[in-house]
Each structure stands twice: as C-alpha cells, then as structure tokens.
Amino acid sequence: MPTPRVQILVCTNERERGAKKPSCGHRGGGDLYRSFKDAVKTAGLRDEVIVTRTGCLKHCSHGCIVGVWPYNLWYAGVTRNDVAEVIETTVGGDGRPVERLKLPEEAAWE
C-alpha cells in the first residue's frame, strides 16, 4: 500500500458500563469506524486514506471523537450520518473542515 495522504482516527474506546465518564465505544464508535472504512472503499480512496480505530482520544464528553490528519482537525459528536460529509468536505476538500462537527477550541483534554 502506498503511503496514505490522510489518516482518520476513530475512537472506539469502551469503558465499563456505569463508569463516571462516557466512552465512544458505547456511543457507536465501532459502527462509526466501519462506516468510515466502507466510505473510503466506496469512494476509491483506499490507497490514499487509512482509517484507524483508537483508544481514548481524551474528549469523552464530546464523543464520538474523530481526528483527521495531517489537517489536525478534531470532530466531536460524529455519527454514521456525518461520514459522507467528512469524506467529501475534509478528505476530498484537502482539509476543509466540517464546521458544525469541529471540537470546540475550549474543550478540555480529559
């Protein structure tokens, strides 16, 4: 595989049920990861984009969290319904952000 030009990080961290902090895994992180993988494949971008599931990305209260590199974009509250827009706008738009999904600047690293 050629070196990817974009990496999409999808939090799939799962804490124990009833934990004080929420986790992206319980909010659909695994399904979101698979949706990104499918969308990249469908768009014919498998040689350009790698989708990686991760552990905690430190913004649990804003999950599901997605990071897009090399653009250093952090998205919060991402759902499967947002995947096509992220692929089209950010990946296909050379780093143009999806403004409504951007993690607030003032969000604390938890």
Question: pLDDT tens digits, residue range 19-40?
Answer: 777 777 788 899 999 999 999 9
Burial label for 27, CB within 10 Å (0-12, 13-18, 19+), is buried
pLDDT exceeds cutoff 70 at 16:
yes
Question: pLDDT tens digits, residue range 42-62?
Answer: 999 999 999 999 988 888 778
pLDDT exceeds cutoff 80 at 106:
no
